[in-house]
Amino acid sequence: MDATSSIAHDPSKDFCPCNECHDNWLNDKGWWCLDCEVHTGVIGEYYMVNNDLWDTYVSESGMLCVRCLEDRIMRRLTPTDFSDVPINTITPYHRSDRLRDRLGMS
């Protein structure tokens, strides 16, 4: 039995950890990288870059993992590429080592 199996659904919370909500999140294709289809939330690569950078290299709606965005822009991301928004600065948020490095948090 996994840790979430006994947790009741709680729609009043911003994040409900029950099995149903967790499974819905895992299967939500909106979180999958447009290029490699990795789940960006699971790997800790949920971020926002500056609109001009995103709009120049991403024409479709969705998410990209850091590697795939870097492949598109043909360089490594730097801290100045990221928008000044809470998702990039909230301390307890789970981030991959790669994203932490690009944000300048390593």
Q: d(Cα 16, Cα 7) in Å, to the nearest integer?
A: 9
Give the number of other Cβ atoms within 10 Å of residue 33's Cβ: 19
Amino acid code (one letter) for 52 = D
Contact present, 66 and 98 (Cβ < 8 Å): yes
As beta bridge partners, residue 32 has 39
Q: Residue 47 above 80 pLDDT? A: yes
Predicted local confidence at residue 41, as pLDDT: 84
Predicted local confidence at residue 30, as pLDDT: 74
Q: What is the pTM of this model?
A: 0.76
